[in-house]
Chains A and B, each alone.
Chain A
Amino acid sequence: MENLEITGSKITSSRFSISKMFKMRRGYITDFLIEKFLFLNGAFAVFVLFGIFSVLFINGVKTFDDVSLKEFLFSAYWNPTGFDRESYGILSMVVSTLMTTIGAMIIAVPLGIGCAVYLAEIAPQRIRDIGKPIVEILAGIPSVVIGFLGIVLTGPIIAKLFHINSGLNGLNGSVLLAVMALPTIISLSEDAITAVPREYKEASMALGANHWITITRVIIPSAFSGIIASIMLGMGRAVGETMTVLMATGNAPAMPHSFLESVRTITATIAIELGEVPYDTTHFYSLFAIGIVLFIFSFAVNLIADIVLRKYQEVER
């Protein structure tokens, strides 16, 4: 590209008047400035990511003036407004988050992959054309609406099924988070399956395998890393989801012992307490420290998805 521009201006200098040449040069100067301007816009994303991490870190780290890291990570008692003693242990929240997330994955992974295989391999073109937008619409339903349905629809059903007083518990959270994670899993898995080269399928068919064998032995193994990446990203969505769990899991700040007990996740804790807490207190800073935990988790999930995908691309080459 650069070479072309240089030769371009050489030609100009010999054939056109100086004023025209000046004009051209000015064009290139504008171009240069525009490129720098666009670069700054691109680099902005890096600043934001760095900014988010710094803000979380600078505020969060002040928690540990008063609280030991050991207590923060391994104590299950979270009671920052305790009368005798304030306690800042996040273990019960971490367990709650893991519980609802794993529960959600148990529901969403088989459903999501099944649906992705259907859309990519089995559905006729007409249904596929409707199927993609349907998944997109499901992805577009606001989390607060899903949370609301958790209160008015799935919660009561769960309460009735298990004969318990309130359906606002870990199971309810898992079901709803599964709904939130499904679109991510479906659309990314479908992309991975569609990306499997046609030749693989044709070779398998030519060897006498039927469609089912081709799907299970050739297509899914080839798309496996993409499917894993889709699960990781769906999981990231479930971990970071706030409104749904805030509204539909009961939010009791204690260590949960089963899926039928009320749970309170990391995200819900921030959402509940950030509104009431005075600025510049250990309690305020501790919420940022929890934010760091969330941030690191989402970072790790993305990283794993990335590594899996990159490996896959190398194999493909």
Chain B
Amino acid sequence: MKATVKIKETLGYAYIYSAAAIIFIILFVILFDITVKGISVINWEFLFQSPRQGMTKGGIFPCILGTFIVSIITVVFSVPLGIFSAIYLNEYARDTKITRLIRIAIRNLSGVPSIVYGLFGVALFVDIFNFGTSILSAGLTLGLMTLPWTITASEEALKTVPKSYREGSLALGATKWQAIRTNVLPYAIPGIITGTILGLSRAAGETAPILFTGAAFSLPSMPSSLFDQFMALPYHLYIMSTQHHDIEGVRPIAYGTAFVLIALVLLMNLAAIRIRYKYRKKMKGRS
């Protein structure tokens, strides 16, 4: 009897340890494969030139630029909205039906599949607002998709600011908004930035929402206005690995693109994690 319990226990621990090890291995294999095969094509030319000869030669600069510009639109659109909603929810909202409705909406928005945002973007921005397939349509679509993440992250950041900060300011005669502006927001900003960077890194890697709202297969020149189409890193990787006429031949370029994309996302993640770490230490010292 005792022996079987012991065996069960050993097996149980073995299972837990191996599960954790497998997760680690999965991440390692992903990063290793992309890095080893991708880093060899990375050079100045690859990073700073346009594709040439039917995208079989040259670099991916337009894609990097496109992803960058679209990300800016995404941030400009979703960050202020996200922060303002978070302030409302955390500082003003009482537990009413409307507040609950808002929270339910946010939770459901974060679960809506990215391709559905794509459909929505096509119907609303491309068609009804008549922005066409453009940087603006794609950026707004991605902005809507990141909105629930920005709200959640900002609210988490606001929650970490101790109540006494608000009370101190109110006791000195500040209005509620003054208290929030001077005594709450400054302390929540690092947390908000962390959340924003994480959300942005996910948006930068998303493909489905931009497939039909503005990303282009290849373009003869750089986009010159917000109503132009653009090339983007994730879309380029998709094209290079499934749609190109010489898929085997452009494999190194696909690996290179994947490497640049992953490096970009990882750097953003690391920056966010670092800011959060520093900020947590600081807040611990305070409260």
Contacts and interface: CB of A to CB of B under 8 A. Distances in A.
Interface of A: 1, 4-5, 8, 27-28, 30-31, 34-35, 37-39, 41-46, 48-52, 55-56, 59, 110-115, 117-119, 122-123, 131, 133-138, 140-149, 151-153, 179, 182, 186, 210, 212, 216, 233, 236, 239-243, 246-247, 267, 270-271, 274-275, 279, 287-288, 291, 294-295, 298-299, 301-302, 306
B270 to A, nearest CB: 8
B117 to A, nearest CB: 8
B183 interface: no
Given A45-B102, A46-B105, A302-B107, A118 B175 contact: no
Given A118-B16, A295-B112, 5 more contacts: A38-B84, A42-B88, A110-B19, A122-B16, A274-B119
B111 A4 contact: no
7 contacts: A39-B93, A122-B13, A151-B242, A271-B211, A279-B127, A287-B119, A299-B108
A41 B88 contact: yes
Given A44-B81, A149-B33, A141 B113 contact: no
Interface string B123-158: 110010000000000000000100110010000000
B208 to A, nearest CB: 4
B107 A295 contact: no
A113 B114 CA distance: 26
B123 A288 contact: yes
B109 A45 contact: yes
Contacts of B201: 140
Closest 3 pairs between A and B when the two form their complex, measured CB to CB: A114-B19, A240-B113, A142-B205
A1 B120 contact: no
B109 A43 contact: no
Given A38-B92, A45-B85, A143-B207, A242 B115 contact: yes
Contacts of A279: 127
Contacts of B212: 274-275
Given A138-B27, A243-B208, A43 B273 contact: no
Given A41-B81, A236-B111, A247-B241, A271 B258 contact: no
Interface string B8-39: 01001101111110111011011001100000
Nearest to A251: B242
A137 B262 CA distance: 10
A241 B92 CA distance: 35
Contacts of A42: 84-85, 88-89, 93, 102
A226 to B, nearest CB: 15
| A contacts with B: majority SS | helix
A134 B24 contact: yes
B60 to A, nearest CB: 14
B219 interface: no
Given A45-B85, A118-B20, A247-B238, A291 B151 contact: no
A119 B88 CA distance: 35
Contacts of A123: 20
Contacts of A114: 15-16, 18-20
B245 interface: no
Nearest to B22: A111
A119 B241 contact: no
Given A8-B173, A38-B92, A115 B20 contact: yes
B154 to A, nearest CB: 11
Contacts of A152: 33, 241, 251, 255
A213 to B, nearest CB: 8
A55 B124 CA distance: 8
